[in-house]
Structure 1
């Protein structure tokens, strides 16, 4: 049975909830899920495998989601989430048995996209893993539009604008489902987005997970292009991209891996959630091997890990 305990840390004025999985080596992996995906559905499957491989894991909820604080709920604010990552990394460094020079970050989908600015802005990270990352929100939105009907796109846009306007006067968020069939008002209607519940919530294990997000998230995510930061990432970064991904696109993740000075790319068959489904073993094997290589099997260049560049 997986051993873990609930912990909390401060990010600004908010408290973030997390699971700490104690490890048997002194390296720690900080993890979070994608858009509105909380720590249990978003990280449980991988966190247990990383712990089995000996790593400590800190898996957390971004503020405004899951068990973390912050209101209004279900609202994605990119800057806040990046601040939560900084706080989580700082907290992980204080965990008993963890070497502060052997930290890595892991995210998928939207959080996978976060890996590029997170790794750039946090030079204490020794490595990062971006799994099916949203590297270019604009490119992903254009591709996703092919799987949506014009009137539904218009209704979604109007709802997003109303939600954003309502936020200015303190109204509650207007929510949309994370996925839906073409013609419905949902964040994603791509064919592979429909695998989300099967991949993350098989058997309805996570009954408290609210699979909805404030409609304004669609507007913000479309303008988010974190892959452009890849060229400024100093640490090794592994991009795990799926060749038939219709939700965030294989090509944009692969280009980000190519631009990163120490980027590595793993190509997997399947759609956006394949690493949680048929390609799970391939994904875990590649990620564990990468983490062992960069966190355990070689001496760290401490001047690089602390300053973000070689002295």
Structure 2
């Protein structure tokens, strides 16, 4: 029987909270550290993927980034990708101290924004023994420019400049903006897809009450400087799985495949899921099962050998 307990650790002095799930049997176990994407709390999707992984004998540590969900940190709903990447590394450091975990067999898993984060973590932290990247954000500027279109992107840029001036003048965290909107042509949001709004609000009602569907405006400004391409080229020998949704128009599957092709590791695998959208990997159990199964098999292959 699996066991699950709440844990907490410090990341750059901020208390981060999560759940540690251990497989049946005797440890020390290999581990996947799991983080979510934009405005995510750990109850969104991660437990669904974790179940298949734990069944393969790999423990998981699911956590909320600082400023999100159960974790501490201010301002709330502030999404700083550099800080979130540090939270991943702090989670690894914490896991190394646990007697149930084999610190020599730790991997990272991420979805959407975190799908990009784990490529950076894997490239910059030698403790990472495998990377699992699902439908990742890989180029924030190009992503925003394409999903908004030229006119709305111009309006988004003006909003961010106005907010920057106000933050400098007032010394505050600035304004907030929706993650998505049901009326994206009337209301600016970071991700202008009504399907995101509908699906995430359904998930919030059903199983993730701590989800807040907004972020600081500065979060979107930081997204424009996000580019994992240079880091992907450093994955010389790290086993890396990238799961891509065919035709993904939210995080842009052509950009994802381009980054995958730039990874020099001979131990890489690309899985393009046909007739699967970005959002179906949150909302459709059959699609979740396929992606979860791929992650579980990859983690077992690269983490379950070589027990100390």
Higher RCO (CA-CA < 8 Å; seq separation 6+): 2
2:297 corresponds in structure 1 to: 289
Single out whichever of 136-145 and 160-169 deviates more from structure 2: 160-169
2:211 aligned counterpart, secondary structure? coil
Q: Deviations over 1:15-43 (max 9, x none)?
A: 10111111236111101110111111141
Q: In structure 2, what is the Cα distance between the partners aligned to 1:12 and 1:172?
A: 19
2:162 corresponds in structure 1 to: 162
Native 8 Å contact 1:17 1:67 kept in 2: yes
Shift of 1:139: 2.3
- Map 1:70-81 → 2, pairs under 5 A: 70-81=73-84
Q: Is 1:60 aligned to residue 63 of structure 2?
A: yes
- Map 1:231-250 → 2, pairs under 5 A: 231-233=233-235, 234-250=237-253
Shift of 1:72: 1.1
Shift of 1:96: 2.7
Native 8 Å contact 2:163 2:175 kept in 1: yes
Native 8 Å contact 2:280 2:287 kept in 1: yes
Shift of 1:176: 1.2
1:129 to 122, 128, 132: 132
Single out whichever of 80-89 and 184-193 deviates more from structure 2: 184-193
Q: Is 1:268 aligned to residue 268 of structure 2?
A: no
May I ask how many residue pairs the two structures share in their alignment?
296
1:50 aligned counterpart, secondary structure? helix
Given the superposition, is the C-alpha separation of residues 30 and 80 from structure 1 closer, same or farther in structure 2, using an over 3 Å criterion? same
2:229 to 224, 227, 230: 227
Given the superposition, is the C-alpha separation of residues 2 and 295 from structure 1 closer, same or farther in structure 2, using an over 3 Å criterion? closer
Native 8 Å contact 2:144 2:153 kept in 1: no
CA RMSD after TM alignment: 2.3
1:89 corresponds in structure 2 to: 92
Native 8 Å contact 1:192 1:247 kept in 2: no
Q: In structure 2, what is the Cα distance between the partners aligned to 1:64 and 1:56?
A: 25
Shift of 1:77: 1.5
1:209 to 211, 233, 236: 211
Q: Is 1:279 aligned to residue 287 of structure 2?
A: yes
Q: Is 1:17 aligned to residue 23 of structure 2?
A: no
Given the superposition, is the C-alpha separation of residues 254 and 34 from structure 1 closer, same or farther in structure 2, using an over 3 Å criterion? same
Q: Deviations over 1:240-298 (max 9, x none)?
A: 011121111111111222221232111013221232324212111111111111111x4
Q: In structure 2, what is the Cα distance between the partners aligned to 1:202 and 1:268?
A: 26
Q: In structure 2, what is the Cα distance between the partners aligned to 1:107 and 1:271?
A: 17
Shift of 1:56: 0.9
2:44 aligned counterpart, secondary structure? helix
- Relative to the length of structure 1, the TM-score reads 0.87
Native 8 Å contact 1:192 1:271 kept in 2: no
Q: In structure 1, what is the Cα distance between the partners aligned to 2:63 and 2:171?
A: 27
- Map 1:30-45 → 2, pairs under 5 A: 30-45=33-48
Native 8 Å contact 1:75 1:173 kept in 2: no
Native 8 Å contact 1:106 1:112 kept in 2: yes
Q: In structure 1, what is the Cα distance between the partners aligned to 2:163 and 2:70?
A: 23
Native 8 Å contact 2:105 2:303 kept in 1: yes
1:103 to 103, 106, 111: 106
- Relative to the length of structure 2, the TM-score reads 0.88
